[in-house]
Amino acid sequence: MLKTDFMGLKLSNPVMIAAGPWNRDGKGIKESLEAGAGAAVTESIVSDTVLDVRPRISCDDNGAQNIRLYSDIQIEGWEREMDIAKSSGGIVIGSVSGNTASEVSYLASKLERFGADAIEISVSNPAVESLEVVASNADVVYQMTKECVSAVKLPVIVKLSQNTTNISKVAKAVKDAGGSGVTAINTVRGILGVDIDSAVPMLSTYGGISGEYIRPFGLASVATIAQTVDIPICGVGGISEYKHAIEYIMLGASAVQVGTAVMLEGRDMIRKIVQELEIWAQDNEFDDLSEIRGKALDNLKSFEEMKFEPAVARANGASCNENCEKCISACMYNAITKKAGSISVDRSRCTGCGLCTFVCPANKLKLDL
Ligand SMILES: Cc1cc2nc3c(=O)[nH]c(=O)nc-3n(C[C@H](O)[C@H](O)[C@H](O)COP(=O)(O)O)c2cc1C
């Protein structure tokens, strides 16, 4: 039921484990596959390995920030790591990163020889400004993809950055260059926080924000690409439960990847996501998850297509036993009042912004015509 064909790769399910230090070597990748992932992406492999700065990963309740992380294993060392990674079966995608087309295609052809099933070119890293320039430049991404596609027989995916004004243009460049798919998104440039007693940021440079914080950006990037370019998409960013995976698929993704949640909760959470996806599909009588791919795009208009709808809020059942009064404080139009446990909306004041329907924990407010 969850079997997925992604760019010709036959995945047992659409949930992959994303590129990152949890997949830094053969052992880690093998563990990712044994935890039930449909595929695992290696940490990005570069031609010049550099010493990692310390500290380099911070987190809070909503996600993480990391700075400059690549595989610390030289490309030649990946021959052995790939053997280990693939020793119990499963699909391994080799992630490569570099500043030039010849660099990435050289790494890709090595990984093909070592047994990778596909290549993912990581064209961005929010901590490394030169790579962010690559990620926003459709011509450079085109050249990189084209050279890589001609260097290997494997499917080539390009992992895009949200830190660009034109993700559609870059995705189109990937397609035009013969790329088989895109992954969206990498981490988003940011600073997680500052210790106000010492005036020291949590990490000492700008980094890539991941996890819960970035899911809205990942969802929007996937939807934008799906609406504008006909290319298989792998959605990534802030997935920590099966519902998030379904959101990505409904907005056009064929498969998804999980990173930060695996880092913070362990790989076993993948098995849970896969099991819950299976149950959801059964309960909703889907034979195949491709039946829901892009389903939410029909309900996603461009702003220009939005029509004026004179909708206003209505109290859904007059009595409200909640003590929160969140709807009253959130109503900037002073349209909501509560007396003796009963909420009412002054429909002449309500302008239909809709906020009360989202803040109410008891689902007491609805917007209608
Ligand atoms: C610590 C850490 C290291 C990462 N390293 C890589 C990497 O080597 N290559 C890459 O393409 N993405 C890397 N990423 C980005 C993730 O693969 C993923 O795109 C991003 O974190 C968003 O997904 P998430 O919210 O599920 O983590 C890294 C992310 C984190 C948190």
The CB of 44 under 6 Å from ligand 1? The reply is yes
Residues lower than pLDDT 50 in the chain:
none
**Structural domain for 328, as ranges:** 308-368
Q: Whose CA is nearest to atom 4 of ligand 1?
A: 20
Residue 148 and residue 115 in one domain: yes
Q: Total domain count for the chain?
A: 2
Residue 179 and residue 317 in one domain: no
Beta pairing, strands 92-96 & 118-122 = parallel
* pLDDT (tens digit per residue) in 192-224: 999 999 999 999 999 999 999 999 999 999 999
Q: What is the CATH number of the domain that holds 349?
A: 3.30.70.20
Residue 10 and residue 104 in one domain: yes
The CB of 124 under 6 Å from ligand 1? The reply is no
> pTM for the full model?
0.97
Write down which residue in 299, 323, 345 finishes a domain.
299
Instruction: Please give the single-letter amino acid code of residue 304.
Output: E
Mutate to test the pocket of ligand 1, among 122, 210, 214, 273 (most ligand atoms within 8 A of CB): 210
- Round the average pLDDT of the chain to a whole number and report it: 95
Residue 274 and residue 320 in one domain: no
The CB of 179 under 6 Å from ligand 1? The reply is no
- Gap between the terminal Cα atoms of the chain: 40
User: Which residue from 364, 223, 230, 229 is spatially nearest to 299, judged by alpha carbons?
Assistant: 223
The CB of 24 under 6 Å from ligand 1? The reply is no
Name every residue whose Cβ is closer than 8 Å to that of residue 44 and which is 6 or more positions away in sequence: 19, 69, 70, 71, 95, 96, 97, 122, 125
Residue 197 and residue 334 in one domain: no
Which atom of ligand 1 lies at the shortest distance from residue 19's CA? 17
Q: How far apart are CA 37 and CA 31, in angstroms?
A: 9
* pLDDT (tens digit per residue) in 55-92: 999 999 999 999 977 999 999 999 999 999 999 899 99
Q: How far, in Å, is the centroid of ligand 1 from the Cα of 259? A: 6
Beta pairing, strands 188-190 & 194-195 = unpaired
The CB of 239 under 6 Å from ligand 1? The reply is yes
The CB of 159 under 6 Å from ligand 1? The reply is yes
Q: Kindly state the percentage of the chain with pLDDT values over 70.
A: 99
The predicted pLDDT at position 323 comes to: 82
Residue 275 and residue 347 in one domain: no
Check: CB of residue 148 under 8 Å from CB of residue 119. Answer: yes
Residue 354 and residue 326 in one domain: yes
The predicted pLDDT at position 317 comes to: 67
